[in-house]
Each structure stands twice: as C-alpha cells, then as structure tokens.
Structure 1
Amino acid sequence: MTVSVRDLRPGVPGDVEAFARVRRRALPYMLYTPESVLHHLTHTHPATRARSLVAEEDGEVIGTAQIGLVRDSPEPGQAYLNVHVRPDRLRRGAGGLLVRVAEEYLAAEGATKLLSWVLDTPADRGFAERHGYREGRSAHFLRLDLAHGTLPPLEPPPAGVALRTAADWADDPRPLFALDAETTADEPSDVATEFTDYAAWVAETWRHPLLDRDLTTVAVVDGRPAAFTAAYTDDGTRYATAMTGTARAFRGRGLAKLVKNASLHRARAAGRTEAFTGNDTGNGPMLAVNKWCGYEIRATEVRHVREIG
C-alpha cells in the first residue's frame, strides 16, 4: 500500500468532504464542515501562503494538513503546521510524509519557526518529538451536554448593560472587529496576535460559514460593545464558542459569564445538543467561567515548536 501527499482539490467531487471527515474523526471536539474547510482554503489572506494537504492511501484520504505563515503576529518567520490522520489509519507513514512536505514548503516560503498543535497523548507527543518539535503551551478541549446538562439560570443584565447579537451589526461589524482585536491581543498564547486588517477579518472571520450571528452574543455598555462570545454551529446539532472576551475597561464585572450563558440558553432552545469550547490551560478566569457553565475537560493539546534554519 502506497501513501502519497497532494494538495486538496476543491473541484474534485468528494475531496473537500473527505478532508472534513478526517478532521472530525481525528479531532471530534471541533466543528468541521466541507464549507468551513473550503472557506479556510479560499478566504485566508494571500500573505499567509496557506495550503491544505491530504495524504492518500490507494486513493483514499487518510490524513490532512493545514499549513501557512502566521500573518497576524509582530514576530516574523512564524508558520503553522497542523497534521491529523484518521485514528484507524495510523502508523502507515501518512503523518510523517505530511510533515515533510509541509516543512519543505514553509521553509521555502521563509518560515523559521514552525508551530503545531499536538494532542496530549504519548503517541502524539512522541511523534512530534521524533520530528524535532519541543513542547510549549497547552490548551484544553471542553464539552457541555446541552441536551441533558443543567445550565446556570438566566439572569437579567445589570443596570446599564444590554444584550444584543452579532446580527445587529450586519451592516457595519467594525465595532465587533475592534472588540475582537483588543481581546485577542490579550489572550494567553505563545504566539502574539495583532488584528490590524479589517478587510481580512471580515473575509476570514465575519463571513466564516460556521459563524452563527444570531447566537453570537454581545454585551453593550453605553452603546459600546464591551464583551462577546462568538458562536459557531454546524449543519447538525453541535455548537462551539470560537472566542469569548471582554474589553479591558469592562473586565471584572461578570460580562463574560453573562454573554456565554445567554448564548448557551439560546443555543439549547434552538435544538443544539452539544457545546464545545477551548481554553489555554493558563487562562484561569475563562476556565472558571466554563466550569461555572458546566463544561468538562475532554482532551488537551500541546503547542509544539520547531526552529528551522
């Protein structure tokens, strides 16, 4: 049996669907649809030089990789390389071949530091170490049973605070861009991030096919968006929060709890049965909010880094 690596071919029937299936099986804590896979490939800023790769065995897609340069960081030369192989097709050489092809491409594009998320299992960490990667920060995947779990009761917003949805900014989402940029810059990470390109944010984030603007909840204070939780939904019953943050001037007032709980209640009312989110393991305040909501840790991944010449 021969394993080969090639680019994802959006024009080939079933190719994007196969990519999404592999991702869902390898990483069931995140939402992947053919539309989201295609959006990443076609709407990521050209400066990232992004590619989506697949590993095939006898014509069957068994592994995937999403790779590119990190554009939104003040530190030059960084690149991302995230590889996933179907759990029932491990140890066939697909992962190693994807890494080799990805590294060669990123090095040619000027990358000097490669960043890769790796599941916190002995097999996955061992694979990363054998390929020269060292561990960095870690993050948890969390799950909440919306169908059978108990959410905290809904409470009215405090005086001076109003709850709205992202749909209210459909004509001009720039205030939400400013809030996302400020909160993302403060998020614990080993990769500093600065959102400065509004047009790119609109293309990549605001128009993301999984973004549910009716469930994305925003707390407004004195007419200004002060806190938000960005909701993703798939074409089934799953819901995920892609980002939750509060502007610096409004922290410590319970607004993250407020928007997240409100969004979860509306998601359950809309028929969503599972909720997922992710947390840097060092982000104590957000971990506390998620624990209060009822989320439980289901898995951990560790960012691994490799310096290349």
Structure 2
Amino acid sequence: MTVIVRELRPGTPSDIEGFIGVRHRALPYVFFSPESVRHALSLSHPHAHLRMLVAEEDGEIVGTVQAGLAHESPEPGQGYLNVYVDPARTGRGAGALLVRAAEEHLAEHGATDLYAWVLDEPANRTFAERHGYRASRSAHFLVLDLAHATLPPLQDPPPGVELRTAADFADDPRPLFTLDAEAGSDEPGDIGTEFTDYEAWVEEYWRHPHLDLELTSVAVADGRPVAFSVAHTNAPGRYSTGMTGTARAFRGRGLAKLVKNASLHRARAAGYTRAYTGNDSDNGPMLAVNKWFGYRIHATEVRYARTVG
C-alpha cells in the first residue's frame, strides 16, 4: 500500500468530503464544511501562500495539512503547518510525507519559524519532536451542553452601553474591524497579529460562510463597538464562538460576559444544543468567563515550533 501526497482539489466533491472527514475524526472540536474549506482556499490573502494537501492511500484520503504564512503578523517569516491524519490510519507514513511537503512549500516562500498545533497525546507529541519541533504554549478546546446548561440570567447593559448584533453593521462593518484589530492584537500567542487591511478582513472574516450576524453580539458605547462575541454556526445544533473581545479602555466592566451571554441565550432559543470555543492556556480572563458559563475543557493542544534556515 503506497501513500502519496497531492494538492486538494476543491472542485472535486470527494476530495472535499475526504478532507473534512479526516479533520472531523482527528479534531472533532472544530467544524469544517465544504463552504469553509473552499472559502479558505479562494479568499485567503495572497501573501499567506495558503496550501492544502492531502495524503492518499489506495484512493482514500487519510491525512491532510494546511500550511501558509502568517501574513497578519508584524514579523516576517512566520509559517504554520497543521497536520491531521485519520486516527485509524496512523503509523503508515502519511504524517511524515505531509510534514515534508508542507515544510518545502513554506521554505520556498521564506518561512524561518514554523509553528504547528498538536493534540496533547503522547504519540502526537513524540511525532512532532521526532521531526525537530519543540513544545511551546498550549490551548484548550471547551464544550458547553447548551441545551441543558443553566445560563446566567440576561442582564441589562450598564449605563451608556447598548446591546446590538453584527447584523446592525451589515452595511458598514468597519467599526467591527477596528475593534477586532485592537482586541485580536492582545490575544496571547506565539505569532503576533496586526489587522491593517480592511478589504482583506472583509473577505476572510466578515464573509466567512459560518459567520452568524444575528447571533454575534456587540456592545456599543460612545457611538462605537467596544465589545463583541462572534458566533459561527453551520452544523445542525452546533454553535461556536469565533472570538470574544473588548476594547482596552472598556475592560474590567463585565462586557465580555454581557455580549457572550446574550449570544448564548439567542443561540439556545434558535435551537443550538452544543457550544464550542477555544482558549489559549495563558488567557486566564477568558477561561474564567467560560468557566462561569459552564464550559468544560474536553481536549488540549500544544503549539510546537521549529526554526529553519
């Protein structure tokens, strides 16, 4: 049985189904759809040099890798590769071939620092270390049984603050871009983020096929958004938080809890039964907020890094 690595063919339904199937079996806490995969490929920023590859064995897709440059980072040469192999098909060389192909692609585009997320399991960590990667920070996948959770009661916004939804900004989302740029730049992580290209943000984030404008809550003060909780929906009953953030001048006032609580209540009323989110292990404030809602950690992943060149 021979394993080969090739490009993902986004126009071939069986390729998309195979790619998604591997991801869901290896990483059940993150939802992918045909629309989201094609969106990532077609609307990714050119400077990201995004490449999606699959490992195929006897005509069946058994592994995937998504590799590219962190074009939103102020530091050049930051590359990433996230490899996933069907848990039932490991140990046959697919992972090693995917790593090699992804590293060669990143090297061609000037990557000097490589980062990969690895589920915190002995076999996965050993695989990463065998390929020269060293453990860095960690992050958690959290799940909330939204159908049966006892959510905090809805509260009125504090004086001077108004609750809205992202749908209210459908004609002009630039104020949300400004907030996302500020809040996102403060998130803990190995790779810094700077949103400076509004049009690219619109294409990649605002037009993401899973973004739910009606369930995304926004707190407005002084005529501008100051906190938001971004909602993604697609699979039946499945809701996930893409980002919860607050402008620096408005932190410490409970606005993150306010907007997320409003979004969760509306999501449950709309029939969503499972809520997913993820947090860096160093993001103590957001981990505390999610614990307050009743989220529980279901899995942990470790960021592995390697310097090349």
Q: Distance in 2 between matches of 1:296 and 1:12?
A: 37
Shift of the alpha carbon at 1:295? 0.2
Corresponding residue for residue 251 of structure 2:
251
Corresponding residue for residue 305 of structure 1:
305
Indicate conservation of the 8 Å contact 1:31/1:233, yes or no: no
- For 1:178-234, what per-residue CA distance to the aligned partner results, in whole angstroms no more than 9, with x for missing partners? 000000001111111100000100000000001111111100112110000111111
Q: Distance in 2 between matches of 1:93 and 1:214?
A: 45
Q: Distance in 1 between matches of 2:229 and 2:21?
A: 27
Indicate conservation of the 8 Å contact 1:140/1:280, yes or no: yes
Corresponding residue for residue 195 of structure 1:
195
Q: TM-score, normalised by structure 1?
A: 0.99
Q: Does 1:217 align with 2:248?
A: no
Q: Distance in 2 between matches of 1:12 and 1:31?
A: 20
Q: Distance in 2 between matches of 1:264 and 1:56?
A: 40
Q: Distance in 2 between matches of 1:252 and 1:43?
A: 36
Alignment of 1:1-309 (within 5 A): 1-309=1-309
Shift of the alpha carbon at 1:109? 1.2
Indicate conservation of the 8 Å contact 1:216/1:230, yes or no: yes
Indicate conservation of the 8 Å contact 1:119/1:300, yes or no: yes
Runs of 4+ in 1 over 4 A off after TM superposition: none
Q: Distance in 1 between matches of 2:58 and 2:14?
A: 16
Shift of the alpha carbon at 1:235? 3.2
Q: Distance in 1 between matches of 2:92 and 2:192?
A: 35
Q: Distance in 1 between matches of 2:26 and 2:283?
A: 25
Q: Distance in 2 between matches of 1:215 and 1:53?
A: 33
Amino acid at match of 2:216: T
Aligned residues: percent identity? 70
Q: TM-score, normalised by structure 2?
A: 0.99
Q: Distance in 2 between matches of 1:231 and 1:286?
A: 16
Q: Distance in 1 between matches of 2:218 and 2:274?
A: 21
What is the aligned-residue RMSD (CA, Å)?
A: 0.8
Shift of the alpha carbon at 1:108? 1.3
What is the number of equivalent residue pairs in this alignment? 309
Unaligned runs of 5+ in 1: none
Indicate conservation of the 8 Å contact 1:69/1:111, yes or no: yes
Q: Distance in 2 between matches of 1:216 and 1:86?
A: 33
Q: Distance in 2 between matches of 1:236 and 1:3?
A: 34
Indicate conservation of the 8 Å contact 1:211/1:233, yes or no: yes
Q: Distance in 2 between matches of 1:185 and 1:288?
A: 20
Q: Distance in 2 between matches of 1:21 and 1:34?
A: 11
Amino acid at match of 1:37: V
Shift of the alpha carbon at 1:18? 1.6
Which is worse superposed, 237-246 or 12-21? 12-21
Shift of the alpha carbon at 1:16? 1.2
SS in 1 for 2:167: helix
Amino acid at match of 1:68: G
Indicate conservation of the 8 Å contact 1:9/1:15, yes or no: yes
Shift of the alpha carbon at 1:167? 0.7
